A and B are shown apart, each in its own frame.
Chain A
C-alpha cells in the first residue's frame, strides 16, 4: 500500500493508524515562524466511527489504508451475518454485527446501502439517507389529527422505534431520515 506524506493530507484521505483504517476529516498546518511545523489532524476511525485528534511532525509519512466505499444491495440476515450483493457482478459479501452497527435498524431488503470495504472485507454499513418502512405496531390512529403536535412512538418492520404523528396507523408506510432517525412523511404505496 502507498504511503502518504503529511503534505498530501486532505479531507477524505484513508490512512492506517494504530492498526485501524481511518479517514482524515480535517488537516491543520501549525508552525511557529521560527520553529517546528506540525500537522494537527482530525481523524475518524472507520471501524469504530470514533473521531480523534492526532498530531504529526510535518514531513513524516504514514501508511495508506486500502479502503473503498461500494454501493451494495442488502439481501437478508441469517442472524449472525448481514448479506449484501453487488448489483452488477452479483458477488455476495457478508458483514458481521460490528460492521453493520446501528445500520441494522434501517436495513430493508433490496435497498442499496453504502458498504465500506477494508482490504476487501466490510467494516461499516451506511443505510440510504431515506428509507420507506411499514408500521408494525402503534397506538390507534386519531383520524383527522394532522397537526403533528405531540406524537407517539411507532414500531417499524425492522424493529426501529420512531416518533410519529398521532394519525399514523399500523400498516402505514413511512419515509424516515436514517441520519436523524426521524419521521419525514407518509409514503404513497
Chain B
C-alpha cells in the first residue's frame, strides 16, 4: 500500500519511474559505506571482472539526468556490507528521486508533502521542524559544531553518560560529531518530522557547497520520530570538484585501511557533458514501514531478514 501511494504521488507530480542496474563496474568511494562485490565470468563485456552491487542508484540516475531524462524516481533494493542491527539490514529498499530545477530547500518541501500523503491515515504529521546542523548541535549538545574541539566533545559525552570509544582517533573529527549525533542528539529529538540541513563541508558527500563563513553543504537529512529516514542534496554538478571528492574519499579510506575504489568514470563523463541543476534524495522504505507500523526492529518489516534470508 505504501509503495502504491508513493507511485501515485509521483504519477501526479509527473516524475518518471526508472530502473538502473543493481550490478555495476563502479562502486561508491564513500568511506562510511562498504559495497558487496561479485565476479562476472562472461561472456560479453566485463568478462572476468569485479562488479559492485549498488549501495544506491545515484550514479546511473545522474547519468540519466545528464542524458535529459528530467525528473525521475526509482524504488529498488540496495546493499551495504557490515550493517546489521535494529535499524539496519545489509539489503534494504530505497526510494530515490531527482527533481530537475529544484534546490535542496524545494526538495525538502516535496519530501514533507510525500510523507504527509503516504502516511495520511497511518501517522498524522504535525508541521515539520527545521534545524540547521549548527542549530541542532547548539540546542541538543550545547556546542557549536563549527567551532568545537574533540576535548569539548569528550566533556559533553561524559556529562551525558557516554564514553569516548577507544580507537576513535583525534583527527577523525566527523566521527566525533557522528558520536554526538547518534548518542546525544538523535535520542533527544522531538517525535514527528524533523529536517536538518547545512552540513559541514567535510560531510558534503555529493552536495554542492553554499558560500559562507564557513561554507556549508547543501545537504539535508530527514528524521521521523527520531529515526534517520532520508538524505538529500542540491546536487554537485561540477565534474572536476566531483573527482576531487572521490580522491578525498579514497585518501580517507586509505587512512582507515580500506581499499581504494576506482572513481566512476562514466558518471564523471556524464557530469562533464552537463548534469542539469537538480536536487535528489534517498529515503529508506523499510524504516518508513517501521515507523508507520510502530515497530522497533527492522526485522519486523522484512519478510526474510538476513538471519533467515
Contact = CB atoms under 8 A, between A and B. Distances in A.
B183 A29 contact: no
Nearest to B157: A55
B268 interface: no
B172 A36 contact: yes
A102 interface: no
B179 interface: yes
B166 A60 contact: yes
B85 interface: yes
Interface residues of A, number: 21
B161 A53 contact: yes
Contact of A55 (B84, B162, B174): B162
Contact of A35 (B82, B86, B178): B178
Interface string A3-31: 00001000000000000000000001111
Interface in A54-99: 54-60
Interface in B150-181: 161-163, 165-168, 172, 174-175, 177-179, 181
Contact of B228 (A7, A33, A36): A33
A60 B168 CA distance: 9
A38 B82 contact: no
A32 B181 contact: yes
Nearest to A7: B82
B205 A38 contact: no
Interface string A143-166: 000000000000000000000000
Given A30-B182, A31-B88, A37 B82 contact: yes
Contacts of B168: 36, 57
Contact of A34 (B30, B84, B88, B165): B30
Contacts of A40: 182-183
B32 A35 contact: yes
A8 B264 CA distance: 33
Contact of A32 (B165, B172, B228): B228
B179 A29 contact: no
Contacts of B179: 36, 38, 55
A54 B162 CA distance: 7
Contacts of A35: 32, 174-175, 177-178, 181-182, 203
B241 interface: no
A53 B158 CA distance: 12
B231 interface: yes
A29 B175 CA distance: 15
Which of B86, B163, B178 has the largest number of chain A CB atoms within 10 A?
B178
A37 B83 contact: yes
Contact of B83 (A31, A38, A56): A31
B231 A28 contact: no
A50 to B, nearest CB: 14
Nearest to A56: B165
A33 B231 contact: yes
A33 B230 CA distance: 9
A183 to B, nearest CB: 37
A34 B231 contact: yes
Interface of A: 7, 28-38, 40, 53-60
12 contacts: A30-B182, A32-B178, A32-B182, A33-B221, A34-B32, A36-B175, A38-B165, A38-B182, A53-B162, A55-B162, A56-B165, A60-B167
Given A7-B82, A32-B182, 15 more contacts: A30-B87, A31-B32, A31-B83, A31-B85, A33-B32, A35-B203, A38-B165, A38-B179, A38-B182, A40-B183, A55-B162, A57-B165, A57-B168, A57-B175, A58-B82
